[in-house]
Chains A and B, each alone.
Chain A
Amino acid sequence: MALLEIERLEIGFGGLAAVRGASFAVDKGETHCLVGESGCGKSVTALAVMGLLAPTATRKAAGLRFDGQDLSGLSEREMSRLRGDRMAMIFQEPMTSLNPAYTVGSQMAEVLIRHRGGSKKAALDRAAELLERVRITSPGMRLGQYPHQLSGGLRQRVMIAMALMCGPELLIADEPTTALDVTVQAQILKLLDELQRELGLAILLITHDLGIVARVAHRVSVMYAGEVVETAPVAELFGAPTHPYTRGLLSCVPVPGKIAPGEPLGSIPGIVPRVGHGFTGCAFRQRCDLAGPDCEGTVPRRTLAGDHQYLCLREPTEIARS
């Protein structure tokens, strides 16, 4: 059962089309990874779901549903009631995501009081409980500390705990580990994984790191130039990548055993095109070996067995041969 459904989402910034008809769904209790290069529209998609786009952006969608409820029909007030309560978000940069002017405890308590009311005391108890849950030792002491007294890893844990204050159903994590060093990264990913299993949380994880995807995702959507070009369960995607872009992306990653030492890694020629409004056809065609004149027309979304969708004119067998 899909918790978050996005159908043909379009986001524009002036003449630039940042997202062009992206569609995917996040099921209850799954980790859905959204991967793609910088600037392909991953973060903007997440912000659009939260209703946090800059006022200069335009958002249009055939469907944008959270738990069956149409988000595009909600008022700003109803949206802010949903934000932080049933859907929460954590950001890339933990060093600046906490307000330097208040203690950790007061910031965490505030989220709960804002949505659920209740006493400060009860909220602080809940905050301490969650800090413990994200494996922070001596939570009582941490609650009284200011953000500058915490390390990056600790701050990201605090951000996660803060996002969990109201017991959300959906957690959007926008590159939550990019700014952290590798050992801390592993801890945070493990933590997210555990929390998800314990709390039945759905996580939309945005990343450009395929290693992270392989590790935590249940399903993956690959974005390219504002479109979701392929969606598949994680094993399917790594085992049988179908869209030429996904195949190119995976060939860029060194896999021990698959690639002999000294052998050059794959690369994708060209750069991501800047796509304006009214662009038709496949945005990947200039960089694709299989492209033909027909790629300038509309490209259908094809569905393969096992909940595997991709956006290309070519047959999987045809692509696999190349």
Chain B
Amino acid sequence: MTTNKIGLWLGAVIFVGIGLIALFAPLLAPQDPFQQDLTRRLLPPFWMDGHNPTYLLGTDQLGRDYFSRLIYGARISMMIGILTVIGSGVIGTAIGVVGGFYGGKVDDVVMFAITTRLSIPLILVALAIVSIVGSSTTVVVMTLGLLLWDRFAVVARVATMQVRTQDFVAAAWAAGCSHFHIVLREILPNILAPLAVVTTLEMALAILLEAALSFLGLGVPPPLPSWGLMIAEGKDYMFFSPWVITIPGVALCVLVFGINLLGDGLRDLLRTGRTT
């Protein structure tokens, strides 16, 4: 039990920490992340020889402060993660709850929608959309939000089916409540626990997908400092200045790891909470 708690707390600290960094990026960043200085290109970070104390994590190939870009990159990752999950969470939960609640033909349609969605390769669709509409943060959020709802739908549907047969729902019917009321007040509050876990996992997935899209040059457009884009821009220099890809890579890893820890911890917490 204690080890789970450690995971949960570590995950929460990482997530909230990076969230705060993202929120207060303008205050925390020592330099302007867009300010180029070609005389100070590819300076090494503080633990290597020849570093410049002004640039804590060195500079990139255009002489921009890497530490500041990393801090601003947290903004992009967090924003895309959260907005995507809000969009896909609303879509998925609505679809899943409707399917689970009404069952029968409605559920067949919902299941068909879920299987259809599952048969669509994510990256491919994202690539197609971006190549048609062009890349921007909004497009990335919209695309991922419209694609990542499947797990929400699956979990919401099953949880709704379980809750629907509970006695308190029958009692609500017997008290003369409407469908709308029962879904909103009886079902939804009681399926939030599993959905919270899905939310964390999907957020991690969204952040990774954004990084992947940005790395492919189809996500956040330069000069915005997305971590995926930073890796992409640094990959030409990785044999000479390996830190340019290591630093954003580690940041991405830590964030996704933290969110996953948080999700696992939440799941265990809610599961044990249920048996008492």
Q: Which residues of A are in contact with B by a Cβ distance under 8 Å?
A: 50, 52, 55, 80-85, 88-93, 96-102, 110-111, 114-115, 159, 162
Please determine whether B104 and A55 come into contact, CB atoms closer than 8 angstroms.
yes
Please determine whether B176 and A85 come into contact, CB atoms closer than 8 angstroms.
yes
Main secondary structure, interface of B, reads helix
Q: Which residues of B are in contact with A by a Cβ distance under 8 Å?
A: 104, 166-168, 170-178, 181, 185-186, 189-190
Q: Which of A84, A92, A93 contacts B175 (CB 8 A)?
A: A84
With a cutoff of 8 Å between Cβ atoms, the chain A residues found around residue B186 in the complex are: 99
A–B Cβ pairs within 8 angstroms, 16 of them: A52-B174, A55-B104, A83-B176, A84-B177, A91-B174, A96-B166, A97-B167, A97-B171, A99-B172, A99-B190, A101-B189, A102-B185, A110-B185, A111-B175, A114-B181, A162-B175
Given contact pairs A91-B171, A91-B174, enumerate 16 new A-B contacts (beta carbons under 8 Å): A52-B173, A81-B176, A83-B175, A83-B176, A84-B175, A84-B176, A88-B175, A90-B171, A91-B170, A93-B167, A96-B166, A96-B167, A97-B167, A99-B172, A99-B185, A101-B190
Please determine whether A99 and B176 come into contact, CB atoms closer than 8 angstroms.
no
Task: Evaluate whether A88 and B174 lie within 8 angstroms (CB atoms) in the complex, with A55-B104, A100-B190 already known.
Answer: yes
Most buried by A among B167, B171, B178: B171
Closest residue of chain A to B170 (Cβ to Cβ) is A91
Nearest-neighbour CB distance to chain A for B157, whole angstroms, equals 18
Q: How far is the CA of A55 from the CA of B164 in the complex (A)?
A: 14
Nearest-neighbour CB distance to chain B for A101, whole angstroms, equals 4
Please determine whether B178 and A80 come into contact, CB atoms closer than 8 angstroms.
yes
Task: Evaluate whether A52 and B171 lie within 8 angstroms (CB atoms) in the complex, with A80-B176, A99-B190, A100-B190 already known.
Answer: no
With a cutoff of 8 Å between Cβ atoms, the chain B residues found around residue A102 in the complex are: 185, 189
Nearest-neighbour CB distance to chain A for B132, whole angstroms, equals 44
Please name the 10 residue pairs, one residue from A and one from B, whose CB atoms are nearest each other, closest first: A84-B175, A101-B189, A84-B176, A83-B176, A89-B174, A96-B167, A97-B167, A80-B176, A99-B168, A97-B171
With a cutoff of 8 Å between Cβ atoms, the chain A residues found around residue B168 in the complex are: 96-100
Task: Evaluate whether A115 and B176 lie within 8 angstroms (CB atoms) in the complex, with A55-B104, A100-B190 already known.
Answer: yes
Most buried by A among B166, B174, B185: B174
Closest residue of chain B to A148 (Cβ to Cβ) is B276
Q: How far is the CA of A81 from the CA of B171 in the complex (A)?
A: 14
Nearest-neighbour CB distance to chain B for A11, whole angstroms, equals 17
Q: How far is the CA of A55 from the CA of B178 in the complex (A)?
A: 16
With a cutoff of 8 Å between Cβ atoms, the chain B residues found around residue A159 in the complex are: 171
Nearest-neighbour CB distance to chain B for A14, whole angstroms, equals 14
